[in-house]
Chains A and B, each alone.
Chain A
Amino acid sequence: MKSSIVGVWTLKRLRRPGPVLKCALIILLVTAPMIAALIFVDGMIEGITEKFIYLSNGHVQLSEFSDLETARKAAEMDEVLFCNATLSSYCLLYSKTGTASLLVKAVEKDYFNDMRKGQLSLEMGEVAGGNTIILSKVTSEALGIGIGDRLAMMTVSSISGKDVIRPVLLKVAGLYSSGYEQLDTSLAYMSYDFAQGVFSSSPVLEILVTKGSTETVKRNLESLAAGLVTDYGDYNRSIYDNFITSKQAILIIFLLIAAVACVNTATVASEMINDDYRTIAAMKILGLDSRRIMLWAFCTVFPINMAGLACGLVLGILIAVNLGPFLHYLGRLGIQSLSFYLLDFKPLVSLSSILIVSSTIILVSATSILIALRSVRKISPMQLFRQD
């Protein structure tokens, strides 16, 4: 079997990993939090989006239709899982001790199906009648009331319309918690049938669809000219755009940090060449060409860096998977700022983000090393004799 001096020399050099290991450690320390943060951000954005889709908007919304039953029929297609009529109005809620301004969504009885129940914890009391409201726990605490207590509601969305200006008395039928305080503080539910006599707004069909079929359902409904068709992105354009912009900004910042860390590998490669210049010069005397010496140096630095990257990826994923519960625990301990964020979401390991980060690190690291290794050509065997 033919032997490779590059392989033998690389193994020998790796017994003194020194700065190479330090460099790999830097890459690990940069990659791990970067991946953790990206997974965390991806997961949180996905989690928040799902909360809004299931509890507030649906995947697709059909509005401005002429007739509710015709609209329902139009929405009967294989991809549609649930289709519910809703009415919404911004309202002021008054209790004996507090007030709250929020969106009250009037929903049908079957609105809280299993998919929606998966997004919240719901505690229902034995309260009869249509004039009831389901508040979030946060709102009920702000109003100082609980299940069975009464409150007054005034609509504020359209004074000139059919909205009832006088307060409507409601009983608290249940309390919910979605885990995302911003949603909880801005949303309450009431009976669709009762709200028809109170809200002036037109009904909207909230449609939940099978995974990945939002566009299909949207297109089909549009082709049927059933009404105004929107999706989550259209409905919450500003929130959606904010999420995307935040994610891109975070990614760019992380990529810059990663690039700086990788450029550090060039310094390490240069240091290694300087440290080993006697061996390199001796190898040249013995007949090893610069190309193979560069290959040796590359093989010594690059795989260790890649090992640092791999460890960083694994560590980052592990941190991300365990960060949600940890932050949730901290939030419960009383760190107020954390309670505003959605913390009990599923970490979303986005392959595209990991690929972008990994390929950037690989590319910048390899290029930096190759640039640094050009100095190998400048080492002359004669340097050994001149020094001696």
Chain B
Amino acid sequence: MSNDILLALEGISKSFDKPSGEGKLVILDRLCLEVPRACAISVIGKSGSGKSTMLQIAGLLENPTEGRVILNGSICSSLSENRKAELRNTHMGFIFQSNLLLEDFNAIENVMVPALIAGKSFSRSRQRALDLLSKVDLKDRLEHYPRELSGGEKQRIAICRALMNEPELILADEPTGSLDEANASICESLLLDLAREEGKTLLLVTHNMDFANKAQAVYRLLHGRLERIAE
């Protein structure tokens, strides 16, 4: 595999037992994807097509039924949960539709959490979080808790948190799905600009075609497999 490939999904299948007990529900069917470094790739598909499942498998959150996840040339899908957690912390940044901010932590602390998990110095982490929040125009919301912030603000904080540990790979699952048009547009631009500015690889899952088209390559997930539809 080329050194230019940061993440590769090889023959990934995922199926669930049907609730009725009659057979299996196949979500992903021997799916393959190669994500080059410093590149933004988007995946579109209908609701229930398996986009989020694919992203969760790529993020080592879910185990595939078959196939392997390769990050930086190493097979990661068979690692222990603790080792996967460590890889998520150091190599990946996550952005979800429901931002998953921690309610007990204020804005700057939420951004700092990945660095604190990595055991980085508190003062340096705070400075980095401050820089990121300044870039997304939230310098005056540092001490605010998630319940005191709007949806757009929360999502901008989630973007900062994903970038906090300077991960190589950012996985974004419908990052603007719950935002109004204006906020969605701001967050789309921020995510793409920051990823480009910091040289990050972005794997984006969305059903918003306009947003998807801003990536360097666009894939459609259909019947459990990916097909490239734009470059």
Are A and B genuine complex partners?
A: yes
Chain A residues proximal to chain B, CB less than 8 Å: 1-5, 8-9, 12-13, 15-16, 279, 282-292, 381-382, 384-385, 388
CA distance A292 to B82 in the complex (A): 10
In terms of DSSP, what is the predominant structure of the interface of chain A?
helix
A5 to B125, CA, bound (A): 12
Query: Chain A CB within 10 Å — which of B56, B103, B104 has the most?
Result: B104
Given contacts A282-B102, A285-B59, A287-B117, list 7 more A-B pairs with CB under 8 A.
A2-B121, A3-B125, A279-B104, A282-B100, A287-B90, A290-B82, A382-B62
Please tell me which one of the listed residues A1, A15, A284, A292 contacts residue B104 in the complex, with CB atoms under 8 A apart. A15
Listed from nearest, the 8 A-B pairs whose CB atoms lie closest are A287-B89, A3-B122, A5-B116, A12-B104, A289-B82, A287-B88, A289-B85, A282-B100
Contact with A along B154-194 (1 / 0, CB 8 A): 00000001000000000000000000000000000000000
Tell me the nearest residue of chain A to B86, going by C-beta: A287
A348–B115 Cα distance when bound, in Å, is 53
- B229 adjacent to chain A (CB < 8 Å): no
Q: How many residues of B contact A (CB 8 A)?
A: 36
Pair B85/A288 contact, Cβ less than 8 Å = yes
| Contacting pair A291 B88 (CB below 8 A) | no
Q: Which residues of chain A are near B102, meaning CB under 8 Å?
A: 279, 282-283
Of A12, A288, A382, A388, the contact of B117 (CB 8 Å cutoff) = A288
Q: How far is the CA of A12 from the CA of B89 in the complex (A)?
A: 21
User: Which of the listed residues B90, B98, B116 has the most CB atoms from chain A within 10 Å of its own CB?
Assistant: B116
Q: Which residues of A contact B119 (CB under 8 A)?
A: 2-5
Interface string of B208-230 (1 = CB under 8 A from A): 00000000000000000000000
User: Can you list 21 A-B pairs, Cβ within 8 angstroms, ordered by A?
Assistant: A1-B121, A1-B123, A2-B119, A3-B115, A5-B113, A12-B104, A12-B105, A12-B109, A15-B104, A286-B113, A286-B114, A287-B86, A288-B85, A288-B89, A291-B82, A382-B62, A385-B52, A385-B56, A385-B96, A388-B97, A388-B98
**Complex alpha-carbon distance, A382 and B81, angstroms:** 13
In the complex formed, the residue of B with least CB distance to A5 is B116
B149 at the interface (CB under 8 A from A): no
Q: Which residues of chain B are near A282, meaning CB under 8 Å?
A: 100, 102
Q: Which of B72-123 contact A (CB under 8 A)?
A: 81-82, 85-90, 94, 96-98, 100, 102-105, 109, 113-123
Residues of B within 8 Å of A287, CB to CB, are: 85-90, 114, 117-118
